[in-house]
Amino acid sequence: MDKLVIEGGVPLTGGIEVSGSKNAALPILFACILLSEPVTITNVPNLRDIHTTIKLLNMLGCTCEYNDHRVQVQPGNLLPEAPYDLVRTMRASVLCLGPLLARIGQARVALPGGCAIGARPVDQHLKGLEQMGASFQLEEGYIIGRCRQLKGAHISFDMPTVGGTENLLMAAALADGETVLENAAREPEIVDLANFLRACGAKIEGHGTSVIRIQGVTSLHDGEYPVMPDRIEAGTFLVAAGITGGELMLRNCPFKDLEAVILKLRSMGMEITNTPEGVLARCAGPLRGTDVKTQPYPGFPTDMQAQLMALMCLAEGASVVEESIFENRFMHVLELMRMGAQIKVSGHTAMVRGVQKLTGAPVMASDLRASASLVLAGLAAKGVTEVRRIYHLDRGYESIEHKLNAVGARIRREKE
């Protein structure tokens, strides 16, 4: 198992290229199950979750090859089973459920695993697919679904759900008739998935709004499609500029999709400018505390909560973080406190009082974004920080130590 050893206290300066979005690439890859012709996906990040997905697609009968951020998918004779050994490592595996039912009328998918940030049930996925004509039973930890042919339906989500919206969007692409998704999630990654499906012949309108209309087609054709840039990776690097007192130019940065994050960072004293070369981020003066509540898009993303909290630890005054999406997403707090942060948690709210400095310490990553917050804290801390259990980090950040070292960081990867 690897760890990152970080010698902190160096302002980061230079340019960083933002990778393709993991959270967009995963559903797009699963959507390839729907296709009857070969497809090429470009700008795919080189991450553990991506390779897990490719392995799963190969097991399901699609021939997939990854080479230099390109994935070529050749449809084949599909099999219905997504086994537990793969699904338990990555929650997004449940996204094969809708496409398998739409394409071959059956699916046997293990209940999902992934990060330990709280229960994320799939009941909204199943309820919507049942309205489209599927039936389900649970056997030995597997969701077993069957249908003759999915039918269009009018589906209203109890709450916006990213995975549920993606699963039903994919299923509806090949369903018989029109499907309407109300109270749908509006995340940019859903828009990217819809645009990919449209590029392959799907008929979709309203993606990016709370009402999506899909007119089912009989088949989807070949194509080539570039994955959008990763807004969470970009947001993490914006915080890296601020927490180290540096100046970074982010190329291929999705400025528009980061509006809520950029507004908060500006309120804390950072200067962030969209230029023809990229997004320029720097910290011109002392950081100020702020308050934030995580919300579905276009609100402040829960996937940036831990990183922003690391920045709050060094901001003047008090900050309040309210986590409204996941019930167990403050596990990074105790680790930040080991580095000298002053944080008090009450239920879903954390109060952060800024300190003069953080001090390097051995810390343990509990999930993907918590890992990023500890790396950020280590970049700013006095002394040496060891971030352990970074396999979480490798699920969502491509070559993060190489990107940061190229702009002045002092990070090395070692075996624990």
Residue 387 is labelled as binding a ligand: no
CA–CA dist 370, 326 (Å, integer): 13
What sign does the dihedral 157-198-145-296 (CA atoms) show? negative
- The per-residue b/e assignment along 176-211, b for 16 or more CB within 10 angstroms, e otherwise, is eeebbbeebbbbbbbbbbbbbbbebbbebeebbeee
Residue 122 is labelled as binding a ligand: yes
Peptide bond into 298 cis (omega under 30): yes
3-state secondary structure 280-344: EEEECCCCECCEEEECCCCCECHHHHHHHHHHHCCCECEEEEECCCCCCCCCCHHHHHHCCCEEE
Positions annotated as catalytic residues are: 115
Residue 22 is labelled as binding a ligand: yes
CB 155, CB 168: distance < 8 Å: yes
Residue 303 is labelled as binding a ligand: yes
DSSP code, position 141:
T
**CB atoms near residue 159 (< 10 Å):** 9
CA–CA dist 278, 16 (Å, integer): 10
**CB atoms near residue 46 (< 10 Å):** 14
Residue 296 is labelled as binding a ligand: no
Tokens 């690391």, residue? Answer: 310
Nearest partner of 105 among 139, 150, 73, judged by Cα: 150
Residue 325 is labelled as binding a ligand: yes
Provide Rg for the chain, Cα atoms: 21
Per-residue CA distances from 167 to 128, 138, 161, 298 (Å): 9, 18, 10, 20
CA–CA dist 95, 125 (Å, integer): 9
CA–CA dist 374, 384 (Å, integer): 12
Residue positions in the annotated binding site for phosphoenolpyruvate?
22-23
Residue positions in the annotated binding site for UDP-N-acetyl-alpha-D-glucosamine?
91, 120-124, 303, 325
Residue positions in the annotated binding site?
22-23, 91, 120-124, 303, 325
